[in-house]
Structure 1
């Protein structure tokens, strides 16, 4: 399966994620939805926040040009909120899966979809 198929067939097809991307832990883009783009600085800060979330806790998490309030930050998952939309970022062994949801989607639904894909990729060695 291609990386783009995980975006299209797993994340977006769930209808619990409205935008998504997968980046390598080196910041490289593996796959993305057409309307979602992380700047090099945004992805660099995100990846470093899994080991030290102090920056995003104080200044917010930026993704796709949007600022999110960092809700949950640990070495596996980072969740952010902006009004009634949000973002879920989950790190696997070699990549970070990023799923954004809009105001029509319940945060819990979006979280389950991204976390399950991360669990699957980890089980496959990624």
Structure 2
């Protein structure tokens, strides 16, 4: 199975995301695309926050870039982040991560795009992967 097809066709194709990826629960990248790619330890930290295993929401980084914690929901398996204090609109990001059974679907949008766009597309792919056993 080519995970890259899911990233390219399902997450990136709508045209709003600057980065997207699917990551294993060990933090390893299954497939990814774009300018912000989280390191394995960053993915693991996001998973721990989502699952309620970590309660320190300071200093969250994704791809080496600092993000502010917005919220998370362990029941829904989601985390929302933003970077509103950026030097330019192009560097203002909102990000979301959704946990499935075996992976995390992660997306980032830039500029004036709203979190809802990132969240809707990422959640839809997560739900599909969950139904497929991933």
- Regarding TM over 0.5, the answer is yes
Count of residue correspondences: 124
Which structure 2 segments of 5+ residues have no match?
Answer: 85-91
- Confirm whether residue 80 of structure 1 aligns to residue 88 of structure 2: no
Does the 8 A contact of 1:3 with 1:30 survive in 2? yes
- Confirm whether residue 66 of structure 1 aligns to residue 65 of structure 2: yes
Structure with the bigger percentage of helix? 1
Q: Tell me what 1:93 maps to.
A: 101
Equivalent residues in 2 for 1:1-126 (5 A)?
2-52=2-52, 53-56=54-57, 59-75=58-74, 76-83=77-84, 84-126=92-134
**Cα offset for 1:34?**
4.5
Which structure 1 segments of 5+ residues have no match?
Answer: none
Question: Pairwise CA RMSD of aligned residues?
Answer: 1.5
Separation in structure 2 between the aligned mates of residue 14 and residue 106 of structure 1, nearest angstrom: 14
Does the 8 A contact of 1:16 with 1:106 survive in 2? no
Does the 8 A contact of 1:38 with 1:63 survive in 2? yes
Displaced runs of 4 or more, over 4 A: none
SS where residue 70 of structure 1 aligns? strand
